[in-house]
Structure 1
Amino acid sequence: MKKRLILFAVLIMLSVLAITPTAHAATLLKVGTRDSSVQALQSDLKTLGYNPGPVDGIYGIKTKTAVQAFQQSAKLQADGIYGPLTEQALTRALKTQQILSTAQNYTGAPYLWGGNTPSGFDCSGFTQYVFAKNGITLPRVSRDQYNIGTPVRFNALQPGDLVIFSFLSSGQVSHVGIYIGDNQFLSATTSKGVIISSFSPYWKNAYIGAKRVY
């Protein structure tokens, strides 16, 4: 009797394990899906500048085409199916848009040594303030900001990454900014306050690395 009960319990466990992948697959959104998750996806795609058609909760051809366009921009397989990898990339893209929008709002803010408010920023005060506005906590000084996150190669930079510089012979971190794409970044400079700069030879010579913190 005990052996039969044990065998029965094992069979139930195996059945649960067999069902689990199907339950995960059911979270995929694709042509034909109709629910509030599709509506949220369509809204997010519109926010990022893609055209999924009406925000109606119906995953049609236009939504698929918009998902494919986003997947291509995110260097994912452009199959038009919204799964975990696409969701992760979309979440980051939305967060990046918020961070860059916040950062650009303070273009022209004056420089202030030790400053960490819009009335005056130093470089790390600016990055800390912008990321805090978007729910991400950074250390206060640039050298500590360089010690967190994931290292990023220069040719793999993405908007929202922290870009780090040194103007000291010791190589110690002395400046930080926020990469915004197209070989440009935003930072609080001593001479002009918060400005957009390009990776000119001046900045490239001082560049020492980048970090991804979300």
Structure 2
Amino acid sequence: MKKFVISAALAGGLFLAPTAADAAFGDNTLRVGMSNGEVSQLQETLKEEGHFNHSVTGYFGPITRQAVIDFQREQNIQVDGIVGPQTFGEMNVSGNGSSTTTSTSSNQTQVAGASTTSNATGIVNTAKSLQGTPYVWGGTSPSGFDCSGFIQYAFNQNGKSIPRTVSEMYNASTKVSNPQVGDLVFFETRTGPSHAGIYIGNNQFVHSGSSTGVTVASLSNSYWSQTYIGAGRI
């Protein structure tokens, strides 16, 4: 697969609504409803690959989503219409907006060269970007998640395969006394490990709750502090 080169003219002329931090193409997850320069670059990249045959607008609407889906199908990766780390990786785009030199012929090859810290950051960024997604029993996609489906999706989007159920995640994890960003936090809401979330720092975790959908919660909350049974690292 060819690598994509973002030209200086594109970088300077197509940013419609740059953020204060001037995030580079590849830093942020892109999804329907967003409107900024990163989406413009995405559209240009998809156009180069032959999946986007429309004017560059910088708005991530249904047409752009379909182009992303077509690209994901072509690359044989998870098809969800959202541009996260896995999709960026297949575009050979790194977080600084440049093409990567690491082969992306397989997700495992890409992840093997990534640091634990950067991988954890990617997982957390993906998880936080999904806030507001509704809870769906058995859900494993951005149309709806259950608690373990949400965690598995966030990890898969960053090239890391983990078990499907909370109890399997708990058994597969290395237990830690003090969770770090990207670790899993487990709760006993029924008998045994029955709920989990992704720790994001500052005593907070992001999870898919049955009554809240994907949201951020605090370990200091009276309910979560009483049902908390520990943290694990996968």
2:127 corresponding residue in structure 1: 103
- Aligned with 1:136 (options 160, 172, 181): 160
Structure 1 position 167, deviation (Å): 1.4
| Matching residue's letter, 2:186 | I
2:169 corresponding residue in structure 1: 145
Q: Give the Cα separation in 1 of the matches to 2:179 and 2:232.
A: 9
- Aligned with 2:229 (options 181, 196, 208): 208
Structure 1 position 149, deviation (Å): 2.2
Q: Give the Cα separation in 1 of the matches to 2:194 and 2:173.
A: 18
2:199 is aligned with 1:157? no
Aligned-residue CA RMSD (Å): 1.7
Structure 1 position 140, deviation (Å): 0.8
1:68 corresponding residue in structure 2: none
| Matching residue's letter, 2:209 | T
Which has the larger helix fraction?
1
- Aligned with 1:186 (options 206, 215, 222): 206
Q: Give the Cα separation in 2 of the matches to 1:151 and 1:163.
A: 10
| Matching residue's letter, 2:121 | Q
2:116 corresponding residue in structure 1: 92
- Aligned with 2:218 (options 195, 198, 204): 198
Q: Give the Cα separation in 1 of the matches to 2:216 and 2:157.
A: 20
Q: Give the Cα separation in 1 of the matches to 2:189 and 2:153.
A: 23
Alignment of 1:13-52 (within 5 A): none
CA deviations over 1:81-134 (Å, ceiling 9, x no partner): xxxxxxxxx922211111111111100100000000000000000000000111
Runs of 4+ in 1 over 3 A off after TM superposition: none
Q: Where does the alignment leave 5 or more consecutive residues of structure 1 unmatched? A: 1-46, 48-89
- Aligned with 2:148 (options 124, 130, 135): 124
Q: Give the Cα separation in 2 of the matches to 1:127 and 1:137.
A: 10
| Matching residue's letter, 2:151 | T
Structure 1 position 204, deviation (Å): 0.9
What TM-score, normalized by structure 2, do the two folds share? 0.50
SS across alignment from 1:211: strand
2:189 is aligned with 1:167? yes
Q: Give the Cα separation in 2 of the matches to 1:167 and 1:192.
A: 15
Equivalent pairs counted in the alignment come to: 122
SS across alignment from 1:187: strand
| Matching residue's letter, 1:125 | G
SS across alignment from 1:147: helix
Q: Give the Cα separation in 1 of the matches to 2:124 and 2:165.
A: 20
CA deviations over 1:186-206 (Å, ceiling 9, x no partner): 000011100000011210110
Q: Where does the alignment leave 5 or more consecutive residues of structure 2 unmatched? A: 1-26, 28-113
| Matching residue's letter, 1:97 | T
Structure 1 position 165, deviation (Å): 0.4
| Matching residue's letter, 1:164 | F
Q: Give the Cα separation in 1 of the matches to 2:128 and 2:226.
A: 25
| Matching residue's letter, 1:105 | S
